[in-house]
């Protein structure tokens, strides 16, 4: 309280007002029409005479207007303590009672207003407390539901990631099998090409385009075709494995959901008494990236994309499995066909060689007999020389008979003997010539048979030793489909 002025019997004071906060006490609210003029004139005295009030009662003013007027006059009138002895009392008892009753009414009114305000405020605080509690409970419930949603989508993502990892591992294994199968085809291809190269060394008449050569050429084409298809599927498998965007998106989404679940779990367990809570100015105005629908659709799209990639990978694995079985069967069938052709050709060549050997043996026998015949003919010719000489000598001697003794008598038939021997010699010479010609033909045939026999032997060596020796190491079916 600030002291303003005093008399001998009364002390006047008013509450000290604050320039910062409004007064909230009942006592302060009971003071009305605060007089700021007193602050400017501390020496001012508020004494008024009774006659002053009586003379002023003639004014037609209302109570409030009159009171304001009195306050104005009181504020503009200056009294000094030295004049207080000259003044009489300034209020009547009625004024005193009226003032008291007025204060009572104002006090009761202010108390009722304060009571109503207090009750309304308490009720408001209780309502707001319940509303805050319900809102916090609903928020906690929503966070719990959100955590459940995150857990659900995490399980879906985890399941899909496991399936994707399993599918990638399966595709990688099939890819390795395809690479091993492709590497296994190099050996058969090299064998087929070497067989063709060796068979080009066949000589003369044996250098024919037989079934073996046709099957070998077809075998090379089949192996190259299988290799080409394997390489295409291998490129597809490599592209499928290298394109792991779906798995990356799943793992990134999974990592984000792990972080979100950790944050929401911490938020769900926050209480009013928890540590680490505080004010964050403007946090309610932060914009969000997604909505619940777009949030779930994002994960669902990632899962659908991953499932599509897994379906493509599974389809590619099935195609590779079918390809491996198909190519292995094709190569094995063609390998067997070529081997059958080799076997038949070797058998044919061996038969031809045996027949040539038989004919060569007969030819050699015939050459021997022809040579013996030639020798016999030569001996026969030699044997005819002396009889011819005897016959001719006899004729020559008998031509020396004199005169009439040179008669064509019976012994003169020696001419016929000479002619007969000469004819025999001529025939024998013709036979000798024919025998010698036949011998030459037989010798030439022998040379031809021996040459052909050497060709057949060489062909048999190439087919049976060179080619079939290499074709014994053809890969098995499990190795052709990629198994070790």
CA distance 184 to 176: 12
Segment 201-223 shows an average pLDDT of 88
Dihedral over alpha carbons 377, 378, 380, 385 (to 10 degrees): 150
Report residue 264 as tokens.
Answer: 């929401």
Q: Residue 483 in contact with residue 176, Cβ under 8 Å?
A: no
Query: 452 in the Ramachandran plot: left (φ > 0), alpha (ψ -120 to 50) or beta?
Result: alpha
pLDDT tens digits along 69-103 = 445 445 455 544 544 544 555 788 888 899 999 99
Cβ-proximal residues to 343 (8 Å cutoff; 6+ apart), any chain: none
Q: What is the DSSP letter of 282?
A: T
- Any idea which of 101-105, 170-174, 200-204, 261-265 has the lowest mean pLDDT? 200-204
* pLDDT tens digits, 115-135: 999 899 999 989 988 999 999
Q: At what angle do helices 292-398 and 93-184 cross, to 10 degrees?
A: 10
Percent of the chain with pLDDT over 70: 77
pLDDT of residue 70: 47
pTM exceeding 0.85: no
Which pLDDT value is given to residue 102? 92
Angstrom distance (rounded) from CA 101 to CA 114: 19
Please write the tens of the pLDDT for every residue from 247-305: 888 899 999 999 998 998 998 888 888 888 888 887 777 777 778 888 889 999 999 99
Q: How far apart are the C-alpha atoms of 297 and 452, rounded to whole Å?
A: 84
- Is 70 exceeded by the pLDDT of residue 421? yes
Q: Which of 133, 144, 150 is nearest to 255 (CA)?
A: 150
pLDDT for 20: 40
**How confident is the model over 444-463, as a mean pLDDT?**
90
Q: What are 384's strand-pairing partners?
A: none
């Amino acid at each position: 309280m600030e002291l303003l002025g005093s008399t001998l019997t009364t002390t006047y004071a008013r509450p000290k007002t604050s320039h910062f906060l409004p007064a909230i006490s009942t006592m302060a609210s009971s003071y009305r029409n605060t007089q700021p003029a007193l602050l400017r004139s501390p020496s001012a005295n508020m004494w008024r005479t009774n006659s002053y009030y009586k003379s002023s009662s003639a004014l037609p003013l209302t109570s409030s207007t009159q009171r304001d007027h009195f306050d104005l006059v009181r504020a503009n009138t200056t009294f000094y303590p030295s004049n207080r002895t000259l003044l009489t009392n300034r209020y009547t008892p009625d004024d005193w009672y009226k003032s008291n009753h007025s204060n009572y009414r104002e006090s009761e009114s202010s108390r009722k207003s304060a009571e109503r305000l207090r009750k309304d405020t308490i009720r408001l605080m209780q309502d707001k407390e319940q509303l805050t509690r319900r809102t916090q409970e609903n928020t906690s419930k929503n966070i719990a539901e959100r955590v459940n949603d995150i857990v659900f989508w995490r399980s879906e993502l985890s399941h899909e990631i496991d399936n994707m990892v399993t599918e990638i591992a399966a595709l990688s294994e099939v890819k390795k099998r395809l690479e091993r199968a492709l590497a296994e085809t190099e050996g058969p291809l090299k064998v087929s090409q070497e067989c063709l190269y060796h068979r080009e060394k066949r000589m003369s008449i044996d250098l024919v385009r037989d079934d073996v050569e046709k099957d070998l050429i077809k075998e090379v084409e089949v192996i190259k075709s299988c290799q080409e298809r394997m390489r295409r599927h291998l490129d597809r498998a490599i592209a499928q494995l290298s394109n792991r965007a779906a798995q990356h998106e799943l793992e990134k989404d999974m990592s984000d959901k792990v972080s979100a679940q950790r944050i929401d779990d911490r938020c769900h367990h926050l209480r009013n008494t928890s540590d680490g809570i505080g004010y964050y100015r403007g946090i309610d105005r932060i914009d969000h990236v997604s909505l619940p629908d777009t949030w779930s659709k994002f994960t669902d799209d990632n899962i659908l994309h991953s499932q599509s990639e897994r379906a493509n990978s599974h389809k590619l694995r099935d195609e590779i499995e079918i390809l491996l079985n198909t190519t292995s069967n094709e190569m094995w069938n063609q390998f067997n066909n070529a081997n059958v052709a080799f076997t038949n050709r070797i058998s044919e060549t061996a038969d031809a060689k045996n027949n040539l050997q038989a004919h060569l043996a007969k030819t050699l026998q015939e050459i021997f007999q022809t040579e013996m015949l030639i020798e016999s003919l030569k001996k026969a010719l030699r044997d005819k020389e002396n009889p011819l000489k005897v016959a001719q000598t006899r004729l020559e001697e008998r031509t020396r008979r004199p005169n009439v003794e040179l008669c064509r008598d019976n012994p003169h038939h020696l001419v016929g003997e000479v002619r007969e021997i000469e004819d025999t010699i001529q025939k024998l010479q013709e036979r000798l010539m024919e025998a010698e010609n036949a011998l030459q033909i037989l010798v030439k045939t022998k040379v031809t048979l021996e040459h052909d026999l050497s060709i057949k032997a060489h062909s048999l060596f190439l087919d049976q030793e060179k080619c079939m020796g290499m074709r014994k190491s053809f890969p098995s079916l499990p190795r052709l489909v990629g198994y070790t």
